[in-house]
Amino acid sequence: MKHLEKIIVGNWKMNGSVKSLAVMIEALKSVNMNRERVILCPPFTLLGAASVANVAFGAQDVGAYDSGAYTGEISAEMIAETGAKYAIVGHSERRRNYFETNEIISHKALAAHRAGLIPIICVGEACTGDECAADAQMPAAVEKQVKESVPEAITNFIIAYEPVWSVGTDNIPPAADIEKAHGHIYNVLAGMGKHAPVIYGGSVNATNSLAIMSMKGVDGVLVGRASLLPEEFIPIIQSGK
C-alpha cells in the first residue's frame, strides 16, 4: 500500500554552491507539495542561505558537544540558529571515512535533540545482497546499529535505512529485502519502546523513487546524487505524494 506524505530528504554531501542552492530554491517554489516533508540538507556553509527556502532544511552532521574547545566542529545549537529543523547523523560515509561509532552517533543524535533538531539517524549493513542473504548479517548489523545509535532519551527522530553497498552506486536491493529490513527496524524500535518513520536511501532516482516509496514500510527516501539538480529532485518529490 502506498502511504501519503512521504518524507523526502536531499543530502547534498560536499556538493553545491550559493548559486546552485538559489537555483534549487527557485525551482521548488512552484512545486505543489507538503513543504514540511521535503528536507534539503546542503553543506553547513549553505544553511543560512537555505533558510529562505520554502521547504524544511537540515545539516548533514552535527557536533557531539554543545560548545567549547572542539576546533572545526559545528554544534547543534548553531545549526538550529539557522532555522534548520533536522540533522543527519551516522551517515555511512561518516561511519566509514571518519570512523564514527554507534556511540559517537548516539551522542550526536542526543546533541541534536537537545537543540530541538530532529535527528535523521542512518543505519545500514555493509555486506552485499548475496552475502547478507547467506549469513543473515544484515538484520544483525542493522539491529546493533539501531540499538546503539538511537539514544534512550529521544522520541522524535527518523531512521534512514541505507545499505552501504547501495549508496553512491546504481544498485538497489530487491523490494523484498528493503521491506524485510524496514520491518525488522520497526520491530527493533518497538522492542525499545519507540516508533519512528523509516526511510530508504541508496541510489534513489526519478526512475525508481515511485516503486521504492510504494514498498511496504517505506516512509520516504534519502536521496544523494539525484537531489542536486531540480530536474531530478522534483520528480522524486512528486512521486512521494
Q: How far is the CB of 92 from ligand PEP (least distance, A)?
A: 7
- Write out the residues near ligand PEP by the rule CB under 6 A: 11, 13, 91, 162, 167-168, 201-204, 222-226
Residue 149, sorted as left (phi over 0), alpha (psi -120 to 50) or beta, turns out to be alpha
Beta strands of the chain (E only): which ranges? Answer: 7-11, 38-41, 56-59, 86-89, 118-123, 158-161, 198-201, 220-223
If the CB atoms of residues 188 and 199 are measured against ligand PEP, the closer one turns out to be: 199
Q: How far is the CB of 118 from ligand PEP (least distance, A)?
A: 17
| Residue 93 annotated in active site | no
If the CB atoms of residues 15 and 67 are measured against ligand PEP, the closer one turns out to be: 15
Of 107, 162, 182, 184, the active-site residue reads: 162
Q: Which three cell numbers stand for residue 28?
A: 521548488
Q: How far is the CB of 193 from ligand PEP (least distance, A)?
A: 28
In whole angstroms, give the CA distance from residue 109 to residue 112: 5
Of 91, 113, 182, 184, the active-site residue reads: 91
**Closest residue to ligand PEP: CB criterion:** 224
| Residue 162 annotated in active site | yes
Q: How far is the CB of 100 from ligand PEP (least distance, A)?
A: 14
How many CB atoms are closer than 10 A to CB 7?
24
Indicate the SS3 state at residue 29: helix
- As annotated, the active-site residues are 91, 162
